[in-house]
Structure formats: C-alpha cells, structure tokens
Structure 1
Amino acid sequence: MGLEIEEEIKSIARTLNKQIQDAAAVSHNEAEFRSKASRMIEEFATKMRLTIPVREEYTLVNGRADAVYNRLVIEYEAPGSLRPDNRHRVNQHAIEQVKGYVGGLVRRERHRPERLAGVVLDGSYFIFIRSKEGSWHVDPPVRVDDHSTEHFLRLLASLSTELALIPENLVRDFGENTPVSRKAASTFYDALTESPNPKVKTLFEQWSLQFSEVCNYAEVSKLDVQSFARAFGIREERAEPFRLFFSIHTYYASFIKLLALQIVHYYTMPKLGTDLRQAAAFKSEQLKAYLQRMEQGGIFRELGIANLLEGDFFGWYLDIWDEAIYQALKEIVASLANYSLVTLDVDPE
C-alpha cells in the first residue's frame, strides 16, 4: 500500500476502534453488534474509495459465514463473550467456525488458502487467523485498540482486491442490470443510433441480416424488448430490437475478448507487456490503440495464437470512438482487472 493510504488507515483506526467498543457496549446481542460493525466497514470503504464485495450470512458447505468481504471472513460474537485466552470454549468454537468457513471459501471459489484470512470480533477482542504452508496460524486475542484496528483495516483493504474468477462473480459484476453492462450497452446503443458512419451502418446491416436468418423476426417482435432494454440502461421509450441486441452483443463480445486477453497474459507474462491493470489507467487514445490491436488479433498473434480473433462485426465502436465509448470500455477493463486468475491454477476439488 502507498504511504498516503497507510496514513489514512492509521487515522481512521484511531477513531474506529472507539466506535467498535462503543457499539459493543450498547448492543444487546451478536446480531445488533454485527449490524453496527457492518455499517462502520461500509463507511470505511467509502472513505477509502474501495469497492469491497460483501456477502452477509454467506452459505458455504460447512455453515453460514457472518460476513465475507471478498477474501476476508469475519465471524462476529456476542459483545464481551471472547476471553484473553484461546483455550476458552467460546474462543475455540469461533476459531473452528472461521477455519471451516475459510476452507469452504477455498473450495467454492478455488482460492489458495494463504490468500484468505479470518477474523473473530466481539467488540473487545480481535482474533486473527491465517493458513500458511498447510497449517493454521491463530493469533492470541488482542484488545480492540488503535494498533489492532489498524491491522484489521489493512487486512480488509488488501484483501478487497483480486476477485475469484468464478461464474457467480462474473455474473454479479458483468451480467444483466449491473452498472458495467448498463453503461456499456446503453453507450453502444446511443452511439449506434446517432452515428452517420457508413462503415458502422454496413456492419450493423450485415449483422442484422445474419441475426434475422437464425432468429425469426416475428418471434423477436413478441419479446418484451422494453423491459429487457431497461435492464441494460437503455431509456428510449420504444427501443429498436435489432439495435438493442447488436449493442448487447457488442458488449459481451468485448467482454469475452478482454477476458481471453487477461487469461493469455496470465499464462504468458512477461511476454505480453501490458496487462489490464495498466490498460485501465490509459488515456482515451492509448486505450483505443490497445483495443484496436486486440480487435485485429495482433496481441494474440505475437504469442503464436493464430486465428483466435477472426474479423467480426463487433469492433465497430473504434470507428466512432468518443469520450462516452472510452469511459464505457475503460470501466469494463478496470472491472476485469480486479479479478485474480490464480484461481485458474487451483484444483476445484
């Protein structure tokens, strides 16, 4: 982490540790304390400009975790129930639960165990738990204070990145009615509607001809196109079906190409110089050039992968590139850059 982030975490920890203790003091049970602590974590994420996927009461094969913040499992206990010695029954029970949840998350999301962490919290004590080199490392209980809260926040921030590349996460981040899909599909739809570019018009007409051959137009016209359009952020009162589906097709084609690029980079680096994290920081013309090279298959051919990308209909957005298209593609790139491909190498069993 950068120095500025470290200083900000230290500053927040000085206030938050007191807030955690106060919340525990006025909470009558675990559920009430958990609710208050969750709000504090949300506020921390907002202050730090972090996007931390949270799953509360997350069901795993061996139970239901109180809260999973990407790769950090939090098990809340009733205020004041933990003891300063982990031999105490309540401590042991909570520790075993966290171990089970971490193990369940490893199996479900194909993480390496050492890439996850667990925390037990009752408002008075933290217990930090990690798996290293095949064995569990359980820290003794530490009082909630500036130092321990800072360590907790540092864990939370560092484990909030690198999402597991699994279908559930991809659907959550890139599926229908998500911020990324709504922004991209609606941007493509507006650009397609407004563009006078003859090449774009020709590509759309060719695609429409092929689409109508494999899909009965009369059947398409019966679909509830308007609610489908709204799910992808398109507000036009009567969305034109073929433009709608071409825009959505373009979005998913771009997404799949970028995902393929990310996977290829993971297995061939450092041969491929620029990864998605770097591309996410590109200015408009830099990103356009990067995507142009991708659409032409050049990046893949350099790695000896021929014909992976044949000419298709879906690179048309490059011919009418503008600020809106730049922002939409940048968001797809930046969101995909948050994914860890380490999960591809971990046996799902």
Structure 2
Amino acid sequence: MNKEKKYWQINTEKLAHDIKQAARTANTEEDLKMKVEPLLQNVFKKIGVDIDIVQYEASTTSTTFRGKSDAVYGYLTIEYKAPGKLSTKLNVKKTVEQLQNYLTGQATQFGEQKEDFLEKAVGVALDGKYILFVRFIKVPTILQTPVPVEEKQSVLFPAIKTGRGFQILGPYSISYSSLTNLLIFVRASARRPLTAKDLATVFGPNCSIARQAVSELYSAAMRAQRRQTPSRIKTFFLEWDRIFGVVYGQELEKAEKTAEETAKVYQLPAGSR
C-alpha cells in the first residue's frame, strides 16, 4: 500500500505540463475531460482522496436552473471547458454563472443549512490552459488562494468588491501553483456531504461493511443478554429497552416489525431475536 502524500510532495509542474499537452490534442470539452480526469484522479489518490465518491454528469435542479456538472467530488465540483474557452471575459462570465448555479442547486438539499454547504463548496472550471475557482462566503471579505499564484490574475475581473456571496479566484494559467491550490481544495472538500442519499450509500444495507458492522453490534448485544453475570452492555441495553418502551408505548408492535425488516435487509444470520 502506497503511503499517502502531502500536496507539496506532488509534482504539480509535471501535472501542469501533462494537462497542457492534453489540451493541445483536445477539440471539445468532452475530449479534455477524458484526457485530464485520469491525470487528476491519479494525483488525487496520492494525496488520500477517495476517488470512488466522484459523481459524473451529476444532475442539478433548482427553481431557475437545470443542468449537469461534469465531475463532483463531495463538496468540489469540476466543470471542464473546451481548450482556451476561459480566455475571454464573456465565456468566463458564463462559466462562473454556471458554477454558481450548480453549487446553489446542490445546496437546496440542505434546506436551512444551504449556506453552510456553500461555504464548504468549491467550484472549479478548467479548460486545459486556464483554471478558476468559485467560493461562497457569508462574511464580507476578499478571498485569496491558499497558496499564492505566481502570476498576475488575468484582467478579466479588475474591480474586486468586498461582499458576501460568491467570489471568483482566477482565471489563472495552468501552472504548478494554480494546480497546488486545486489539490488543497480537493483534499479539504472531497468528502461525502451529510445528505440522506450519501449516508445511505455508506451505512445502508447495500454496503458490505455496514452489514457486517450492524451484524457485529447486534450479536454483541444479544450475547450480553444471554449472560447470567452483569455487564455494561447488558445494563445499557436494558436501560435503552426501558426508555424505548416508555417513549413508544403502543408502537412496540410496529417497532418489532421494523426490526424484522431491518434484520432482513442487513442480512443478519439469525434475524431479529
């Protein structure tokens, strides 16, 4: 098993070279995505990112926008563009609006906590020549990249105003410093959001580890009940059972049925006892 690396141990200069090479032979954004995504995933894995969480062509729906983002790694969304697309002010403006809509659409899953999600979220646009980042802030401030980008920002957004809401970092040329910032962002953001769908993926009955964990916990609780001598597990279980009965009262029959169904979907060897 390879040891996890820190972002500064990654040769982002070589990564920048490889991405630029890919852009030279790509004609469309799909071409670029197919060439660059494997390059990014290779370095993402090296810094400890679980690339299995990625969702491709993830649908985003809001009251005013419907679309599909190219690649979503937890809180980080990557939008690929045709090579050179981010070199004009108009296309940058359209891309930024697109990323803002993607992030806002994802945030609707979190209800009243949608701004908490947006603060963690990162939007990335990449065309093989340039890269930009979109962040959301609650408190008015001027955002900066974690690592200074050793070049002047493209003069597409010369007037930077302090305010809450979305802010744009870039566009920056693809370089070792701009890609180092991408690695920092993905390392911090590539984790599963706490939505019902993502929690079910990790802890639901379709996950073998979850089934094994539930089986082990249930078996431990049942073994403790069969023992004649007192134990902490037995004491805690009896107390929980007492409180459960007080709270649910006549719902116990329904709870027993639910327990049987749960035992079935989690494939407990002896079912619910």
Provide the TM-score with structure 2 as the length reference: 0.65
The answer on 1:33 being equivalent to 2:62 is: no
Shift of 1:97: 0.4
Structure 2 unaligned residues grouped into runs of 5+: 141-163, 246-251
Distance in 1, Cα, partners of 2:43 & 2:253:
51
- Report the counterpart of residue 320 of structure 1 in structure 2: none
Decide which moves more: 68-77 or 132-141. 132-141
2:186 to 156, 161, 168: 156
Structure 1 unaligned residues grouped into runs of 5+: 244-349
- Partner SS state of residue 170, structure 2: coil
Q: Percent identity?
A: 24
Counterpart amino acid of residue 139 in structure 1: L
- Report the counterpart of residue 300 of structure 1 in structure 2: none
- Partner SS state of residue 49, structure 2: coil
Distance in 2, Cα, partners of 1:67 & 1:183:
31
Shift of 1:59: 1.6
Shift of 1:127: 1.5
- Report the counterpart of residue 156 of structure 2 in structure 1: none
Shift of 1:141: 1.9
Counterpart amino acid of residue 118 in structure 1: G
Provide the TM-score with structure 1 as the length reference: 0.52
Counterpart amino acid of residue 100 in structure 1: N
Higher helix fraction (1 or 2)? 1
The answer on 1:141 being equivalent to 2:171 is: yes
Written as runs of structure 1 = structure 2, the 5 A alignment for 1:1-349 is 5-8=6-9, 11-51=10-50, 53-60=53-60, 61=62, 62=65, 63-83=67-87, 85=88, 87=89, 89-109=90-110, 110-112=114-116, 113-132=118-137, 133=140, 134-161=164-191, 163-188=192-217, 197-198=227-228, 214=253, 228-230=265-267, 239-242=269-272
Distance in 2, Cα, partners of 1:57 & 1:90:
21
Does the Cα contact within 8 Å between 2:44 and 2:183 map onto a contact in 1?
Answer: no
Between Structure 1 and Structure 2, how many residues are aligned?
Answer: 221
Counterpart amino acid of residue 131 in structure 1: F
Does the Cα contact within 8 Å between 2:7 and 2:180 map onto a contact in 1?
Answer: no
Q: CA RMSD in A?
A: 3.7
Report Cα offsets for 1:60-111 as digits up to 9, x if no partner: 222222222222221111223331x4x2x32222121011112222333324
Does the Cα contact within 8 Å between 1:20 and 1:37 map onto a contact in 2?
Answer: yes
Counterpart amino acid of residue 92 in structure 2: N
Decide which moves more: 146-155 or 36-45. 36-45
Report Cα offsets for 1:97-138 as digits up to 9, x if no partner: 011112222333324333322111011110222233324322
Does the Cα contact within 8 Å between 2:8 and 2:180 map onto a contact in 1?
Answer: no
Shift of 1:191: 5.0
